[in-house]
Structure 1
Amino acid sequence: MSTSERMRNYHGPVLLSHGFRAFFLLSALWAALAMAIWVAMLGGAEILPLAFDPFSWHAHEFLYGYLGGVIAGFLLTAVPNWTGRLPVMGAPLAGLVGLWLLGRAAVGASALLDWRVVLLADLACGVMLLAFLAREILHGRNWRNLPVLALLGLFTAGNALFHIEAARGDAAFEGMGMRLGLAAGLVLVALIGGRIIPSFTRNWLAARGVQRLPAPFGRGDGLVLGLTVVTLAGFVALPDGRAMPWLMLACGAAHLWRLARWQGAQTGAEPLLWVLHLAYGFLALGFWAEAVAGFGLMAAAPARHVWLAGAIGLMTLAVMSRASLGHSGRALHAGRGTTALYLALTASVALRLLAGLLPAQVWLLHLSGTLWVLAFGGFALLYLPVLARPRVAKKPVSGARRPA
């Protein structure tokens, strides 16, 4: 049975008809809810029975909770397109979603459970996703995407290490497990962003007759990715090394050079495009923020949020909105509501950075968190009809001959 035949013969819940639907919706809801809980924790509330310290729970549930769910939704949607094999849908997809929810519940009630039980519950979805991706790449002989498999493996290993560090009583939010998962996520942004941003931009500009198009992938892009891997490997293994701030500066400049070749300045009329360029810009600026922190000119936490909230947060919001529209048969255009989500999240990142520079102004943290909740809660509300309703049938082009 082909992919299209399987989709036509599916009669279960729409949310389980494609990987992006349930995972994007639940991940966005969790991003909003977890931030609301975190803001309450900043005010002294004890809401969850946590074995993690509050800072480690906050970091874990954004990186391995929220991002883990988005990665699952993205890969379950993209891999069938990469390999030409059948998508995961129905009961198997419900099982994966259930495992992801089990992880969130186990971490949230970690004080009531043995840490090894929490670890196994939290790793279950990632391990199953890793097995799925390995099977699809091997059966489809899709060797080009082996780096994605390797990065997912590192991401899952980082999650395991995070739990081990937390069980030892370490500050896991600044440990190697956190850095490994963050590094894997950032390389995914650089790798997949480097595919989709120039491609989507080229298609949009070409359709409008623009002559200056994004530069194709070349040797320079490969060198930038290589430098990124080297820099982030150092970030994981030797974060306090003397050479690290200089490597971070060089890597940030390299990514800005790469971004400048993609003609982002010409995409101002379409938020679905300029937000991708902006998110990739946060990736580059995050390297520079880490360099500034490495030189002792800024605290580590606000610098790290340029990557976490800016590069990863905004890139995932951009990808979720575009993929939801495209895979549901809707026009690839961001209306005012979607644009407002992008602006709210961008403002949240800016305020989080400002709060780090002005630590006495705690209200900046609360305002940043509120804007984050509005961005992701707004996505869940605005895109619920898109994600929970069947795909929109495309209207035939006027004047086109109908097939016999």
Structure 2
Amino acid sequence: MPPIPRYRAQASQNPVAIFLSAGFRPFFLFAALWAAVGLPLSIAYLEAAAELPTRFAPSLWHAHEMAFGFGGAVVAGFLLTAIPNWTGRLPLQGAPLAGLVALWLLGRIAVLTSNSAPALVSAALDLAFPAVFIFVVAREIATGRNWRNLPMVAALALLFFGNLLTHLEAMDLAATGAIGARVGVATLIMLIAIIGGRIAPSFTRNWLAKNSPAEVEPAPFGALDRFALAATLVALVAWVAFPDAGLTAAPLIIAGAALFLRLIRWRGVSTRAEPMLFVLHLGYGWVPLGFLLIGGNELWGVAGPAAPLHALTVGAIGTMTLAVMTRATRGHTGRPLLADRWTAAIYVAITLAAILRIGAPFMGEHYFAALAVAGGMWSLAYGLFVVLYFGMVTTRRLHQTA
């Protein structure tokens, strides 16, 4: 995969025009804002400390908004920024981009207030964004004849399907909410396995060539990488279909081991001096760890299923999205691809959130305190992104080359 494209914002001084000049600007900002605010709402709803005007049950609303609300916005921001580089076409911007963002916002409102409207209306309003986004991506790829990235359309279709399954449960039509949420998480993890597996070694190779040419380069894509990705697909399909079956542990452990071997061949340890690059390896590392924890837990039942699952959600998805959002935002707005201390604090906060969420079941009487701190660290990480990167996504690109 080529690097995420860099292009100049619109020449207009109008802040609205600048904000709507590239997909990463509104979607990364709103994704981070919803992550920071939505999780505390989820925790309050789950703990019966607050009532929300939604027809979704607490656990289902939490899973839906993290996978399809927050996750959908991150995927949109990334793809709308990457596709122009893949196709050579201009990015979606201005009124069309504003319309897409409005559909996403409408979906969040529709799900949150779904008790106040017919279930079918709420579902239609929420599903409008992924449906239109599939059309936008498919059109761009087809027009640009960029068939290599056509699997991105399949991934978006899976996110739409998983979203639909959660709505069927909210409408009391089928008990498909849990499998729908797993479809969403599995799709996001597969995207990390594929895309993260391209950008992490590529950026590392470039950085080592410039800063440490004596170091051994990351291994090129080969048989191990193909096996690891195939094993990941098999493991995710098994987990989605049979999450509680003991036999599912085997493909998860095999995939975890293969992904871990793949990761260590990328020379991530050599990048520890640059947090903005090292965090890509850290984020990817949560995927094999999550597979190994879920598979091991299926065999030995050390903890409930939620704890190891959060290695994939808080760990892999939470960390990798922040890694990509900070890097892409700085690069596309003309800033150096270097993490200042506050950006490094974002990475520390999300790492602590993952560790505490996974470790909470082993903290005895401090379980709920660990959950609260983990949630606080998650909100802190994404809240810091909103505060620190708001100026970057709402102002014109700097003239310097990132």
Q: Structure 1 length as normaliser, TM-score? A: 0.93
| In structure 2, C-alpha distance between the alignment counterparts of 1:6 and 1:273, rounded to whole Å | 25
Change (3 A) 1:21 1:359: farther
* CA shift for structure 1 position 47: 4.0
Of residues 365, 370, 381, the one that matches 1:375 is 381
Partner of 2:102: 98
Which is further off, 321-330 or 5-14? 5-14
1:182 partner amino acid? V
Change (3 A) 1:69 1:4: closer
Deviations 1:319-354 (A, max 9, x none): 000000001111000000000010011001111111
- The yes-or-no answer on 1:130 pairing with 2:134 is yes
Of residues 324, 329, 340, the one that matches 1:324 is 329
Of residues 83, 86, 94, the one that matches 1:82 is 86
* CA shift for structure 1 position 84: 0.5
* CA shift for structure 1 position 242: 3.3
- The yes-or-no answer on 1:308 pairing with 2:313 is yes
Partner of 1:165: 169
Deviations 1:100-146 (A, max 9, x none): 00010011101112221111111111111111111111111111111
2:185 partner amino acid? L
- The yes-or-no answer on 1:117 pairing with 2:121 is yes
Change (3 A) 1:294 1:169: farther
| In structure 2, C-alpha distance between the alignment counterparts of 1:77 and 1:240, rounded to whole Å | 38
* CA shift for structure 1 position 170: 6.7
Report % sequence identity.
46
1:166 partner amino acid? A
What are the residue-to-residue correspondences of 1:221-260 with 2, within 5 Å? 221-260=225-264
Partner of 2:151: 147
- The yes-or-no answer on 1:393 pairing with 2:396 is no
Of residues 366, 369, 377, the one that matches 1:363 is 369
C-alpha contact (below 8 Å) 1:165/1:177 kept by paired residues: no
- The yes-or-no answer on 1:352 pairing with 2:368 is no
- The yes-or-no answer on 1:15 pairing with 2:7 is no
| In structure 2, C-alpha distance between the alignment counterparts of 1:163 and 1:88, rounded to whole Å | 29
Partner of 1:401: none
Partner of 2:209: 206
Runs (5+) with no aligned partner, structure 2: 1-5
Deviations 1:78-107 (A, max 9, x none): 001111111110111110000000010011
SS of match in other structure, 1:13: helix
Change (3 A) 1:218 1:286: same
* CA shift for structure 1 position 227: 1.0
Of residues 67, 74, 91, the one that matches 1:70 is 74
Deviations 1:265-302 (A, max 9, x none): 10011011111101111011110111122122221011
Change (3 A) 1:327 1:245: same
Runs (5+) with no aligned partner, structure 1: 397-404
| In structure 1, C-alpha distance between the alignment counterparts of 2:31 and 2:47, rounded to whole Å | 24
1:268 partner amino acid? R
Partner of 1:288: 292
| In structure 1, C-alpha distance between the alignment counterparts of 2:332 and 2:89, rounded to whole Å | 17
C-alpha contact (below 8 Å) 2:334/2:401 kept by paired residues: no
2:340 partner amino acid? G
2:180 partner amino acid? G
Structure 1 moving runs of 4+ over 4 Å: 3-6, 8-12, 169-173
Partner of 1:40: 44
* CA shift for structure 1 position 43: 4.8
C-alpha contact (below 8 Å) 2:12/2:18 kept by paired residues: no
| In structure 2, C-alpha distance between the alignment counterparts of 1:213 and 1:227, rounded to whole Å | 25
SS of match in other structure, 2:150: helix
C-alpha contact (below 8 Å) 1:166/1:172 kept by paired residues: no
| In structure 2, C-alpha distance between the alignment counterparts of 1:134 and 1:94, rounded to whole Å | 19
C-alpha contact (below 8 Å) 2:287/2:312 kept by paired residues: yes
Change (3 A) 1:395 1:70: closer
* CA shift for structure 1 position 45: 2.5
Change (3 A) 1:395 1:109: closer
C-alpha contact (below 8 Å) 2:272/2:278 kept by paired residues: yes
Partner of 2:3: none
* CA shift for structure 1 position 211: 3.4
* CA shift for structure 1 position 151: 1.1
| In structure 2, C-alpha distance between the alignment counterparts of 1:266 and 1:220, rounded to whole Å | 21
Partner of 2:390: 384
C-alpha contact (below 8 Å) 1:314/1:346 kept by paired residues: yes
Change (3 A) 1:359 1:189: farther
| In structure 1, C-alpha distance between the alignment counterparts of 2:362 and 2:305, rounded to whole Å | 11
Partner of 2:339: 334
* CA shift for structure 1 position 159: 0.7
Change (3 A) 1:48 1:250: same
| In structure 2, C-alpha distance between the alignment counterparts of 1:52 and 1:22, rounded to whole Å | 27
C-alpha contact (below 8 Å) 2:163/2:184 kept by paired residues: yes
